C-alpha cells in the first residue's frame, strides 16, 4: 500500500475532464496486407502485416494457418494522425511467417469480419527459390546470431559466430562475439576472451551496437569483430568465448532511480557470460599445381612494384618498393621473389604491415655498370575462395647504372701500429669527483614532500583525475547504451514538456493541451522503458507497468487519462466544446 501511495503521489494527476459533445462519427474501415520481403529462402523469416485503416479497435484476426508457411503472431501496433483537422487512426496486426518449401505462393485476399461487416484485403505474392532442401525453419537467432539455441527466458547472453566452420590452414576468416540483452541494463562491458587450440585469434575491433528483432522480441546487440586462422590441420574446438560485464538489477518500484517519478534504487551484479563451443575443421593446402616459389601466402592479393630512383652509381643502393594488397592472412605473406640478381647485392627488406596491405622495401646495390634492370618479380598465393593457386608476375624495372667498379672501393680502417699509443676517453658511465657543490639549502628548510601545499596539490590532482574518469565512463555509456541514454534524459524531457502543457492550459488551448499531455506520457514511458514509438499504446503501457508491479488502481487511472486525452483532443477538432474542470497538478 505504501508503494502504491508513493507512486500515486509521484505520477502526473489530471483530474476529471467533462466533455460536452458527442463522439465523432466513425471512420470508414479499410483492410490491407503487406510483407517486408517478397523474395525469401526456405527457413528465412519475414513480417506479414494486416493493417486496418479507420479503427484502432479491430481485434486480432484468427489467422493461424497459411499453406507452405509456419506462422506466429507477434503483436499489434496502432497509429493516429490529424490531416487538415480530420482525425484518422489505424491498427496493424503483425505476424512472423517462414516458408517451409520452395515455390511461388499467393497470400490473400483475406476476409475479416468486424462489427457485422466483412472487409477484404489485397493479395500478395512471395517467391521462394529452390536453393535448399531443408524444410525446417531456423529461428532468427540461429540464422543471424549464431548456432546457440534460442530461449525466450534468456535476457542476456553471448553468441560466437565464425564465418564458416571448415577452413584451410592459415586461411583468415571473420569471427564475431555478439552480446545480446533484452529488457536489462548492461554496462562495464569488457572485451571478450576466446579459448582456442591451434587457432590464432586477432585483436577485437571497437564494438558496434544496434537494436534488432529476434523471434518477435527486441534485443540490444553489441558485436565484437576480429579474424582467426588455423595454424595446423585437424579438428579443433573454438570457444567458449567469455565476456565480463555488469548487469543492472531493478529493485523496489517500477520506475527505477528517477527524479521525475521520485524513483527507486537499482543494484548491480558482475557476471561472466560464456558462449557455446564450436567445432572447426582445418584442411591442408592442396599439393596439385602448387608453384615452386609458393611460400605459404593464403588469401586474394595483388602486387605493385616501383623504384626509388631511375639512375644510380655503381655501389649506391636503390630501394625497390613492393606493395602487396588484398584480403587474407598477411602474416603468411613474404617478400616476392626477385629474378636475375647477377651483379646485384640484395639486403634484408624493411617490412611495414598495415590493415589490408604489406610493404617490402628492398635495398639493392648494383656492383657493375652493366646492370640495366632489376627483376622480374614473382609472388604466388593460394586463394581459398577458388581453391586454386595463383602467381603474379611483374616485369623487370629499367634502371641506369653509371660509374665503374672502382667506386666500390672503401677506405680501409688501419689498425694502430705496434707501439702506437691509442687515445683513451674516460668519464663515460663513471661518477667522478664534482668540481662544485651544486645548490645548497639550510637544514632548517622543510623538504618539498613534507609541505602541506604539496599534499594539497596532490589531492586536488587525484580528485580531478577521478572526476575526468567518471565523466569519461559516463559519456562512453551514453554513446554505447541507447536505452540508458533515453532513460536518463526522460525526466528532464518530461519536465520541459510539462511546462509547455501548463502554458497551453493557461491559454485555454484545449486541443493542444490534451495532445501535449498524451504525447508527454507516451514519450516518457517510451524513453523510460526503451520502447519503440509504435509500442506506446495504452494497452502496451498498461501491460509493461503491470509486469513491473504497479497497482491496478494506478493502471486504471493511467488508462483513463490516456483514453480521455485521446478522445478529447480529436473531438475538439470536430467543433466540440470541452470544459476543463480542474487544473493540471504535478508533484515531481
Is residue 178 within 8 Å of 145, Cβ to Cβ?
yes
Q: How far apart are CA 462 and CA 256, in angstroms?
A: 32
In whole numbers, what is the pLDDT of the chain averaged over residues?
77
Going by their DSSP bridges, the two strands 234-250 and 185-187 should be labelled as antiparallel
Cα–Cα distances in Å, from 162 out to 227, 368, 436? 9, 54, 70
Displacement of CA 161 from its chain's centroid (Å): 14
DSSP H or E stretch at residue 131: none
Convert the pLDDT of each residue in 94-148 to its tens digit: 888 888 888 899 888 888 888 888 888 899 899 888 754 333 334 444 444 444 4
Q: How far apart are CA 553 and CA 575, in angstroms?
A: 33
Write the secondary structure of 341-377 as one string of H (helix), E (strand) and C (coil).
CCCEEECCCEEEEECCEEEEEEEEEECCCCCCEECCE
Residue 552 in this model has a pLDDT that exceeds 60: yes
Q: How far apart are CA 528 and CA 3, in angstroms?
A: 19
Q: Which residue has the higher pLDDT, 143 or 462?
A: 462
Q: Is the pTM of this model over 0.85?
A: no
Residue 223 in this model has a pLDDT that exceeds 90: yes
Residue 468 pairs in a beta bridge with none
- Mean pLDDT, to the nearest integer, of 486-509? 80
Residue 28 in this model has a pLDDT that exceeds 80: no
- CA-wise closest residue to 275 among 148, 156, 165: 148
- Mean pLDDT, to the nearest integer, of 193-207? 88
What own/partner pairs with CB < 8 Å and gap ≥ 24 does 292-295 have?
293/337, 293/378, 293/380, 293/391, 294/380, 294/381, 294/382, 294/389, 295/332, 295/334, 295/380
Q: How far apart are CA 212 and CA 94, in angstroms?
A: 16
Residue 263 in this model has a pLDDT that exceeds 50: no
Residue 459 in this model has a pLDDT that exceeds 60: yes
- CA-wise closest residue to 116 among 48, 49, 32, 26: 26
CA atoms within 13 A on the CB side of 578: 25
- Mean pLDDT, to the nearest integer, of 229-242? 91
Q: Is CATH 2.60.120.570 what the domain over 298-408 is classified as, yes or no?
A: yes
Is residue 73 within 8 Å of 48, Cβ to Cβ?
no
What fold, for 140-283? Immunoglobulin-like (2.60.40)
Q: How far apart are CA 9 and CA 448, in angstroms?
A: 58
Domain boundaries, the chain: 2-19+487-579, 30-128, 140-283, 298-408
Share of the chain above pLDDT 70, in %: 75
Q: What is the pLDDT of residue 464?
A: 92
Q: What is the pLDDT of residue 138?
A: 43
What fold, for 30-128? Immunoglobulin-like (2.60.40)
Q: What is the pLDDT of residue 262?
A: 40
Q: What is the pLDDT of residue 382?
A: 96
Q: What is the pLDDT of residue 588?
A: 31
Is residue 159 within 8 Å of 275, Cβ to Cβ?
yes
Q: What is the pLDDT of residue 179?
A: 93
Q: Does this chain's domain 140-283 share its CATH topology with 298-408?
A: no
For residue 314, the 8-state DSSP code is T
- Mean pLDDT, to the nearest integer, of 231-246? 91
pLDDT confidence band for 581 (50 / 70 / 90)? very low
Length of the chain: 588
Q: Taking the alpha carbons of 557, 559, 560, 561 in that order, is the dihedral positive or negative?
A: positive
Q: How far apart are CA 477 and CA 484, in angstroms?
A: 8
- CA-wise closest residue to 182 among 127, 146, 141: 141
Q: How far apart are CA 479 and CA 472, in angstroms?
A: 11
pLDDT confidence band for 441 (50 / 70 / 90)? low
- Mean pLDDT, to the nearest integer, of 47-57? 86
Amino acid at each position: 500500500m505504501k508503494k502504491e501511495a508513493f507512486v500515486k503521489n509521484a505520477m502526473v494527476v489530471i483530474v476529471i475532464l467533462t466533455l460536452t459533445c458527442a463522439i465523432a462519427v466513425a471512420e470508414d474501415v479499410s483492410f490491407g496486407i503487406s510483407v517486408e520481403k517478397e523474395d525469401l529462402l526456405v527457413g528465412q523469416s519475414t513480417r506479414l502485416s494486416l493493417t486496418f485503416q479507420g479503427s484502432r479497435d479491430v481485434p486480432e484476426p484468427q489467422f493461424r494457418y497459411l499453406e507452405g508457411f509456419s506462422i506466429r503472431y507477434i503483436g499489434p501496433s496502432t497509429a493516429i494522425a490529424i490531416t487538415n483537422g480530420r482525425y484518422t487512426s489505424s491498427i496493424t496486426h503483425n505476424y512472423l511467417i517462414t516458408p517451409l518449401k520452395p515455390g511461388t505462393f499467393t497470400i490473400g485476399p483475406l476476409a475479416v469480419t468486424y462489427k457485422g461487416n466483412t472487409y477484404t484485403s489485397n493479395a500478395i505474392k512471395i517467391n521462394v527459390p529452390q536453393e535448399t532442401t531443408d524444410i525446417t525453419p531456423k529461428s532468427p537467432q540461429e540464422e543471424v546470431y549464431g548456432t546457440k539455441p534460442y530461449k525466450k527466458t534468456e535476457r542476456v547472453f553471448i553468441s560466437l559466430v565464425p564465418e564458416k566452420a571448415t577452413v584451410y590452414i592459415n586461411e583468415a576468416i571473420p569471427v564475431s562475439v555478439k552480446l545480446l540483452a533484452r529488457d536489462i541494463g548492461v554496462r562495464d562491458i569488457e572485451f571478450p576472451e576466446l579459448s582456442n587450440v591451434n587457432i590464432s585469434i586477432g585483436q577485437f575491433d571497437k564494438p558496434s551496437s544496434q537494436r534488432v528483432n529476434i523471434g518477435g522480441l527486441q534485443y540490444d546487440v553489441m558485436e565484437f569483430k576480429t579474424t582467426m586462422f588455423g595454424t595446423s590441420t585437424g579438428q579443433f574446438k573454438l570457444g567458449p568465448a567469455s565476456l565480463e560485464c555488469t548487469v543492472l538489477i531493478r529493485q523496489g518500484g517500477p520506475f527505477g532511480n528517477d527524479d521525475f517519478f521520485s524513483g527507486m534504487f537499482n543494484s548491480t551484479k558482475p557476471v561472466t557470460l560464456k558462449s557455446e563451443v564450436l567445432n572447426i575443421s582445418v584442411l591442408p593446402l592442396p599439393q596439385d599445381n602448387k608453384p615452386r616459389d609458393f611460400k605459404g601466402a593464403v588469401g586474394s592479393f595483388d602486387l605493385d612494384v616501383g623504384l626509388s630512383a631511375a639512375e644510380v652509381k655503381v655501389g649506391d643502393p636503390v630501394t625497390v618498393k613492393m606493395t602487396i594488397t588484398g584480403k587474407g592472412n598477411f602474416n603468411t605473406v613474404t617478400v616476392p621473389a626477385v629474378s636475375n640478381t647477377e651483379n646485384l647485392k640484395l639486403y634484408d627488406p624493411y617490412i611495414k604491415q598495415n590493415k589490408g596491405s604489406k610493404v617490402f622495401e628492398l635495398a639493392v646495390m648494383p656492383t657493375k655498370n652493366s646492370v640495366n634492370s632489376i627483376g622480374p618479380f614473382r609472388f604466388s598465393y593460394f586463394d581459398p575462395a577458388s581453391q586454386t593457386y595463383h602467381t603474379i608476375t611483374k616485369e623487370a624495372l629499367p634502371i641506369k647504372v653509371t660509374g665503374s667498379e672502382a667506386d666500390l672501393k672503401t677506405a680501409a680502417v688501419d689498425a694502430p701500429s705496434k707501439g702506437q699509443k691509442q687515445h683513451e676517453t674516460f668519464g663515460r658511465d663513471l661518477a667522478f669527483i664534482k668540481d662544485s657543490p651544486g645548490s645548497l639549502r639550510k637544514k632548517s628548510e622543510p623538504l618539498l614532500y613534507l609541505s602541506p601545499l604539496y599534499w594539497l596539490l596532490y589531492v586536488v590532482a587525484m580528485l580531478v583525475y577521478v572526476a575526468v574518469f567518471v565523466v569519461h565512463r559516463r559519456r562512453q555509456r551514453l554513446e554505447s547504451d541507447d536505452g540508458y541514454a533515453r532513460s536518463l534524459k526522460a525526466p528532464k524531457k518530461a519536465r520541459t514538456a510539462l511546462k509547455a502543457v501548463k502554458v497551453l492550459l493557461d491559454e485555454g488551448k484545449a486541443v493542444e493541451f490534451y495532445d501535449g499531455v498524451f504525447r508527454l506520457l507516451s514519450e516518457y514511458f517510451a524513453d523510460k522503458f526503451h520502447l519503440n514509438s509504435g509500442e506506446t499504446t495504452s494497452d502496451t503501457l498498461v501491460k509493461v507497468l503491470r509486469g513491473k508491479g504497479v497497482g491496478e488502481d494506478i493502471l486504471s487511472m493511467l488508462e483513463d487519462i490516456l483514453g480521455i486525452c485521446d478522445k478529447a483532443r480529436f473531438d475538439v477538432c470536430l467543433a466540440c466544446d470541452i470544459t476543463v474542470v480542474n487544473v493540471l497538478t504535478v508533484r515531481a
